């Protein structure tokens, strides 16, 4: 047999014949790389490249990067589409569909110019495909079932092959029975690192995908026909307080990348910093063209990455700014009882229902501290505690923890921030005696005369507001 030019381009050395047959879909079982699988929903350490150009590998919140093997000059990956059980946060799991044991699937990382060969095995009860969102590739590798390829039937394995044209921030998801398969959690991140290791390089690089689920309290399977009324707003199919914290050392360059596969936009807001969009799923934003933000809206089907220098230590909140998206399962037909006196009413109800609690007459903050009996497999609507009390959040919320003296590559949770004395908001307890007075670090004593305390009921010296 002669090695044709096509075979030679398809692979090199002793593997040429095997990979040539893999290309044509007649791969022997032995030719398919082993499909790694993940049982844990905790962040796995970054997968540092052992060959090829150097790059800073990403960290997937509550996730992992798919191992690959080199076969000649092809980087080979193996994704398995299959039913998975994903923990959303301790106390609740979803029966989802995903890849290689988890939803989302493992992050794929490779380098600009790499030739990638991705084996996709379908272990779902129905057919599927994979679309490589944002990648520039031959049309027949685009993964649109019926349009660019036949569907991958249950039990079958297909091969996708393309060369990575550019670095950037991409994702993968099915383009077959999309409404069902994405509502069930099928998606994954795809990061292509620049060939030049110095290009837009950062010290830490975090990724997550946003997905929304509608899972009735006490049940396990998302309602796939839901279009607007979701109750689980997730980052990497996790909700607060189950979402990994984003840990960085003081002074490090940090990138956070995210993509949106829900049915609505998510304005992602990070406290304590301003920052710029450095990359979209269309490519890198030239530094001179980026404008500052503190909230980056990510529309449906979009991806955004932003960069900042972690120069301000602290526990900084990062969350979707739609306040319903930082809640777990909730009823949206709750009436507003703020200001209503339910005391007399409650007495009467307690004669019939002894453990009745009136709620919401002063807002709903008390729900953050309440331990109420919940149906099986349900999370409280708002929950989570930090060093000062209940955080009263759920859904798309996490904490960026910037610390001094963190070793590079240390992603362990450093605990809660130790605030320097005098830098935490405090309760006003009247004018302290001179000797007791501890002004906040940045407090300017020369300005104290400008502050006047107005007693309730009295008119402000600047008029009535």
Nearer to Cu ion by C-beta: 192 or 320? Answer: 320
Question: Measured from the CB atom, is 204 or 257 closer to Cu ion?
Answer: 257
Q: Nearer to Cu ion by C-beta: 232 or 248?
A: 232
CA distance 221 to 215: 6
| Phi, then psi, of 187 in degrees rounded to 5 | -175, 165
**Contact stretch for Cu ion (CB under 5 A) within 4-12, 239-247, 259-267, 304-312:** 259-267
Q: How far apart are CA 75 and CA 59, in angstroms?
A: 20
Count of residues of this chain found to bind Cu ion when the rule CB under 5 A is applied = 4
Q: Do the strands 397-403 and 188-193 form a parallel or antiparallel pair, or are they unpaired? A: unpaired
> CB-based contacts of 412: which residues, under 8 Å, 6+ apart?
247
Question: Of the two residues 322 and 419, which places its CB atom closer to Cu ion in the complex?
Answer: 322
15 binds Cu ion (CB under 5 A): no
Site for Cu ion in 80-139 (CB under 5 A): none
Q: Which C-beta is closer to Cu ion: that of 111 or that of 256? A: 256
Residue 224 CA to residue 149 CA, distance in Å, equals: 25
Q: At its nearest, how many Å lie between Cu ion and the CB of residue 257?
A: 16
Of the candidates 207, 206, 203, 201, the one whose C-alpha atom is nearest the C-alpha of residue 407 is 203
43 vs 320, beta carbon nearer Cu ion? 320
Write down the least CB distance from residue 395 to Cu ion, Å. Answer: 8
Shorter beta-carbon distance to Cu ion: residue 271 or 342: 271
The answer to whether the beta carbons of residues 66 and 77 sit under 8 Å apart is yes
Min dist CB 446 to Cu ion, Å, is: 44
Nearest approach in angstroms of CB 342 to Cu ion is 32
Nearest-angstrom CA–CA distance, 8 and 17: 9
Work out how close the CB of 262 gets to Cu ion at its nearest, in angstroms, rounded to a whole number. Answer: 7
Which residue, 127 or 325, is less far from Cu ion as judged by CB? Answer: 325
Give the nearest distance from C-beta 99 to Cu ion in angstroms.
24
Q: How far is the CB of 315 from Cu ion (least distance, A)?
A: 21
CB atoms near residue 89 (< 10 Å)? 23
Asked if 204 contacts 307 with a C-beta cutoff of 8 angstroms, the reply is: no
49-79 burial, b at 16+ Cβ within 10 Å, e below that, comes to beeeeebbbbbbbbbbbbebeebbebbbbbb
Chain positions 260 to 299 lying near Cu ion, rule: CB under 5 A, are 266
- Alpha carbons within 13 angstroms on the beta-carbon side of residue 33 total 24
Least separation in angstroms between residue 258's CB and Cu ion is 11
Report the DSSP beta bridge partners of residue 280: 283, 304
Neighbour count for residue 15 (Cβ, 10 Å): 18
Alpha helix ranges (H) inside 279-408 = 343-352
Q: CB-wise, 162 or 397, nearer to Cu ion?
A: 397
Residue 275, helix vs strand vs coil: strand
**Nearest distance in Å: CB 93, Cu ion:** 22
The interface with Cu ion within residues 302-361 (CB under 5 A) comprises 320, 322, 325
Q: Which residues of this protein are in contact with Cu ion, per CB under 5 A?
A: 266, 320, 322, 325
């Amino acid at each position: 047999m002669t090695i044709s030019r096509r075979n030679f381009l398809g692979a090199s050395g002793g593997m040429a014949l095997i990979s040539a047959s893999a290309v044509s879909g007649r791969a022997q079982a032995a030719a398919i790389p082993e499909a790694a699988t993940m049982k844990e929903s905790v962040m796995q350490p970054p997968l540092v490249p052992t060959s090829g150009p150097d790059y800073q590998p990403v960290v997937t919140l509550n996730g992992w990067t798919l191992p690959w093997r080199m076969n000649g000059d092809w980087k080979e990956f193996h994704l398995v589409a299959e039913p998975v059980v994903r923990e959303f946060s301790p106390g609740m799991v979803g029966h989802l569909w995903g890849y290689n044991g988890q939803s989302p699937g493992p992050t794929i990382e490779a380098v600009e110019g790499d030739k990638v060969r991705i084996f996709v095995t379908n272990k779902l009860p129905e057919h599927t495909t994979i679309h490589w969102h944002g990648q520039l590739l031959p049309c027949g590798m685009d993964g649109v079932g019926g349009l660019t390829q036949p569907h991958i039937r249950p039990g079958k394995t297909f091969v996708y092959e393309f060369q990575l044209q550019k670095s950037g921030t991409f994702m993968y998801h099915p383009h077959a029975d999309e409404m069902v398969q994405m509502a069930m959690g099928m998606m994954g991140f795809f990061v292509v690192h620049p060939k030049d290791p110095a290009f837009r390089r950062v010290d830490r690089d975090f990724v997550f995908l946003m997905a929304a689920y509608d899972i009735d309290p006490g049940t396990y399977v998302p309602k796939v026909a839901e279009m607007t009324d979701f109750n689980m707003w997730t980052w990497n199919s996790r909700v607060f307080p189950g979402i990994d914290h984003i840990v960085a050392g003081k002074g490090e360059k940090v990138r956070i990348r995210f993509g949106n596969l829900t049915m609505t936009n998510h304005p992602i807001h990070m406290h304590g910093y301003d920052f710029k969009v450095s990359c979209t799923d269309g490519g890198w934003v030239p530094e001179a063209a980026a404008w500052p933000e503190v909230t980056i809206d990510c529309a449906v089907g979009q991806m955004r990455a932003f960069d900042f220098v972690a120069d301000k230590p602290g526990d900084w909140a990062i969350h979707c700014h739609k306040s319903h998206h930082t809640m777990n399962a909730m009823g949206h037909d709750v009436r507003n009882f703020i200001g209503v006196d339910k005391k007399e009413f409650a007495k009467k109800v307690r004669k019939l229902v002894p453990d009745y609690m009136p709620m919401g007459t002063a807002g709903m903050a008390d729900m953050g501290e309440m331990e109420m009996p919940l149906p099986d497999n349900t999370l409280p609507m708002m929950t989570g505690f930090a060093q000062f009390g209940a955080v009263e959040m759920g859904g798309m919320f996490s904490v960026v923890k910037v610390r001094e003296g963190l070793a590079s590559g240390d992603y362990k949770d450093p605990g809660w921030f130790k605030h320097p004395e005098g830098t935490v908001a405090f309760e006003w307890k009247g004018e302290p005696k001179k000797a007791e007075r501890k002004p906040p670090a940045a407090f300017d004593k020369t300005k104290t005369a400008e502050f006047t305390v107005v007693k309730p009921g009295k008119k402000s010296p600047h008029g009535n507001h």
